[in-house]
Amino acid sequence: MRTIQYVLFIISTFAFSSCAIVRQGEVGMKRRLGVLNQKIIQPGSVGFNPFTSTVIKMPIRTMNMEISSNLPSKEGLNVAAVISILYRIEPNKAPYIVENIGVGNEQNVISSVFRSTAADVCSRFFAKDMHSAQRAVIEKEIATQMSELLVPRGFLVEAVLLKNIQLPAGLARAVEEKLEAEQVAQRMEFLLEREKREAERKKIEAEGIRDAQKIISEGLNKNIIEWQSIEAFRELAKSPNTKTIITDGKSPMLINPKE
- The tens digit of pLDDT for each residue in 123-177 reads 898 887 887 778 899 999 999 999 999 999 999 999 999 888 877 666 546 555 6
Q: What is the mean pLDDT of the chain?
A: 77
Sign of the CA dihedral running 193, 194, 196, 200 = positive
Contacts 24+ apart (CB under 8 A), 242-251: none
Pair (21, 68) in one structural domain: no
Instruction: Write out the residue range of the structural domain in which residue 90 sits.
Output: 63-167
Which residues have C-beta within 8 Å of that of residue 154, sequence separation ≥ 6?
89, 90, 92, 93, 94, 96, 97
Total number of domains in the chain: 4
Q: Which of the listed residues 17, 33, 59 is the one where a domain comes to its end?
A: 59
189 and 243 fall within a common domain: no
Residue ending a domain, choose from 39, 59, 79:
59
CATH number at residue 123: 3.30.479.30
- Do both 73 and 154 map to the same domain? yes
Residue 14 has pLDDT above 50, yes or no: no
Residue 257 clears pLDDT 80, i.e. is over it: no
Tell me: do 37 and 108 sit in the same domain: no
Instruction: Give the pLDDT band of residue 106 (cuts 50, 70, 90).
Output: confident
Kindly tell me if the per-residue pLDDT of 242 is higher than 70: no
Angle between the 135-150 and 106-122 helix axes, to the nearest 10 degrees? 130
- Is the pLDDT at 9 greater than 50? The verdict is no
Terminal C-alpha separation, the chain: 145
Based on the fold, state whether residues 109 and 81 are members of the same structural domain. Answer: yes
Q: Are residues 79 and 151 in the same domain?
A: yes
Q: Residues 55, 91: one domain?
A: no
16 burial type by CB count under 10 A (0-12 exposed, 13-18 middle, 19+ buried): exposed
Do 76 and 160 share a structural domain?
yes
Judge if 47 and 94 occupy the same domain.
no
Q: Are 134 and 158 members of one domain? A: yes
> Is the entire prediction scored with pTM above 0.75?
no
Question: In this predicted structure, what is the pLDDT of residue 3?
Answer: 62
Task: Based on the fold, state whether residues 102 and 83 are members of the same structural domain.
Answer: yes
Q: Give the per-residue pLDDT at 247.
A: 61
Per-residue pLDDT, 228: 66
CA distance 150 to 161: 17
pLDDT for res 147:
93
| Mean pLDDT of all residues in 86-94 | 91
Reference 85, options 141, 143, 131; nearest CA is 143
Distance CA 107, CA 48 (A): 29
Measured between alpha carbons, how far is 38 from 45 in angstroms, rounded to an integer? 18
pLDDT band at 188 (very low <50, low <70, confident <90, very high): confident
The more confident residue out of 186 and 124 is 124
Region 46-60: mean pLDDT is 81
- pLDDT bin (cut points 50, 70, 90) of residue 44 is confident
What are the angstrom distances between the C-alpha of 181 and each of 177, 178, 231? Answer: 6, 5, 69
